[in-house]
Amino acid sequence: MASINQVKIFAGTSSEYLAKEIAQYFGKELGSTTIQRFSDGEISPSFDESIRGCDVFLIQSTFPPADNLLELLLMIDAARRASAHYVTVVIPYFGYSRQDRKDKPRVGIGAKLIANLLTAAGADRLMTVDLHAGQIQGFFDFPVDHLEGTAIFVPYLKSLGLDNILFASPDVGGVVRTRNIAKFFNAEMVICDKHRKRANEVASMQLIGDVTGADVVLVDDLIDTGGTMCKAAQLIMDKGAKSVRAIVTHAVLSGNAYENISNSVLTELVVTNTIPSKQECDKIKVLSVAQLFAKAIGRIRDHESISSLFIKQ
């Protein structure tokens, strides 16, 4: 049997709240670090305990500001220079994942750039959940453990006991994601076909499919301003649905998002805690990904299959 090195879990500043919960489920104390900041804002992280020969897990989502990403890169570099045996970056929300291809001339591919930076810093493995596009895994030349939010959302939806559940994709690009979760309920799906003039602004939207009398669940990987989601929800209710709610893994929620959601026809917006909540909202329910990540870390430690964490139909 392969030898098992000591596991140590550390948190970046932006994800300490989640890392503490993950460490608790895993059964270990969160490792101690010091994040020093010079007067000009320059970051200098250090580990306050030996990590020589250890399997190190660094937990940090890379949502803005860019300091979150830079802090993670510096922590990876510090771990390598402190002779860690293996460095796994746990990025619950993988920032810049929306920039995964050249969709118009003269633009960068941000997701690939972030992959290159993580590789250059010395990461050995990536663990994340619900990437914006699954093919981003191919940007890395080391293993990627791509966990699925279905493990959290499916049990919650089943607990609601909805009579006539039907799933909806807020755009054509989310059809595969929506179909994958609909199969656990043997349910049908519909599509909201949208047209954008510019980012974060929907020009028009139409519904493909029948939602009459259905309890509709919108499915997406992230919600930013909430404009698309709220417009899709209104369209679905206008077409005769009984109720509409949304399940979204990453609650970016920028701009007027909280106001948009509060004023929408959504019964509830169910999200995870990959990104910390900015404010309270009666319509938003937060589910934790901590136990899912803790189980995945345990399976990596024991050299076991990660796929056992995926819900089987």
Is 302 known to sit in a ligand binding site?
no
> Is 255 annotated among the ligand-binding residues?
no
How large is the C-alpha radius of gyration of the chain? 20
Residue 287 sits at φ, ψ, to 5 deg, of -105, 145
Decide if 110 contacts 129 (C-beta within 8 A).
no
128 is in an annotated binding site: no
DSSP state of 310: S
Is 226 within any annotated ligand binding site? yes
Ligand-binding annotation for 41, yes or no, is: yes
189 neighbors 169 (Cβ within 8 angstroms): yes
Consult the annotation and say whether 85 binds a ligand. no
Q: 40 a known binding residue?
A: yes
Query: Was 177 annotated as part of a binding site?
Result: no
Q: Has 28 been annotated as catalytic?
A: no
Contact 115, 95 (CB under 8 A): no
- Is 195 annotated for ligand binding? no
The reply to whether 98 sits in an annotated binding site is yes
Taking residue 95's Cβ as centre, other Cβ atoms within 10 Å add up to: 21
Please list the residues that pair with 216 across neighbouring strands: 166, 244
**Any known ligand binding at 227?**
yes
Distance CA 215, CA 244 (A): 6
* CA-based end-to-end distance of the chain: 32
**d(Cα 1, Cα 128) in Å, to the nearest integer?**
27
Catalytic residue among 104, 158, 194, 239: 194
Bridge partners of residue 64, in order along the sequence: none
Answer yes or no: is 225 a known binding residue.
yes
3-state secondary structure of 172: helix
Report the binding-site residues. 40-42, 98-99, 132, 171, 196, 220, 224-228
Report the binding-site residues for D-ribose 5-phosphate. 196, 220, 224-228
Catalytic residues: 194
Report the binding-site residues for Mg(2+). 132, 171
Report the binding-site residues for ATP. 40-42, 98-99
